[in-house]
Amino acid sequence: MAARITNAFTCDVEDYFQVSALAPHFPREQWDSVPCRVERNVDRILALLDGHGARGTFFTLGWLAERYPGLVRRIAAAGHEVASHGYAHQRASDLTPQAFTADIRLAKVILEDITGSVVTGYRAPSFSIGEANLWAHDCIAEAGYRYSSSVYPVRHDHYGIPDAPRFPWRLPNGLVEVPITTVHMLGRNWPAGGGGFFRLLPYALSRWQIARVNAADRRPAIFYFHPWEIDPEQPRVTAATAKTRFRHYINLQHTEARLDRLLSDFSWGRADEVFRDAA
């Protein structure tokens, strides 16, 4: 019998008002005046992981880390990986190379100062490394990160490189890119790594997809979600478009229970350990 594969459980630590799709309604200069709910939500996630004896990676915004250093320390103290989600949740595709580098360097310094440990992983907000800004990989390597998880090899209206490798690859600069998990069927890649699709579609589909990657590809999957996705009581932005409201609020009340099932159905670990020798 083949050994059970350990998959990577990852959480993008950002609050509801920092989501890219809601950016028009929450200007960055007003973030400090918006009620923050991230601590209570991350603490619930930590308790959930602890209950299953699982470990994960928390791609954390530098902006939040500055304001909630105790939360970052709790994540690290529980044995999870603290990784970088940049400082101000700005899409890499919206920045110049200079501004992008400044953002990811600042986040790394803040997180390392809080945890006392080297931060090796980075994930771009909204998977915003695409074919038009592949230069970002050089910036990430030059900033001292060892791996990135910033590419989603799917077709999507906001992100994606459909023809990118489905599994980790090493770039010429030494950086390892760990793409979000997909299932290849009918001539294309289908999202299988969490996020809004995990909330929208039946849990059985996500379970089947991850099991398929483990069994057919013999590869670990990488799953992602956000703390606000377990928070159905978060403030509602009624001024957002119907499409944005649907994507953001669909099935929030079911996410925590689905995560509990996911943690039971598969083995989970930190991205830096799961993919240590992946490429």
All structural domains of the chain with their residue ranges? 6-274
pLDDT of res. 154: 85
Residues in the chain predicted with pLDDT less than 70, given as ranges, are: 1-2, 156-158, 160, 279
pLDDT of res. 187: 87
Taking residue 213's Cβ as centre, other Cβ atoms within 10 Å add up to 24
Residue range 6-274 in CATH 3.20.20.370 = yes
pLDDT of res. 278: 81
Is residue 267 within a helix (H) or strand (E), and if so which, with residue range?
strand 267-269
- The whole-angstrom separation of Cα 239 and Cα 54 is 38
Contact yes or no for 270/57 (Cβ under 8 A): yes
Of the chain, the percentage scoring pLDDT greater than 70 comes to: 97
Question: DSSP label at 183?
Answer: E
pLDDT of res. 186: 87
Find tokens 């309604």 and name the residue.
25
pLDDT of res. 279: 63
Contact yes or no for 265/5 (Cβ under 8 A): no
pLDDT tens profile 131-168: 999 999 999 999 999 999 999 998 766 676 899 999 99
pLDDT of res. 1: 38
Helices (H), 35-183: 38-52, 62-67, 69-77, 97-115, 136-142
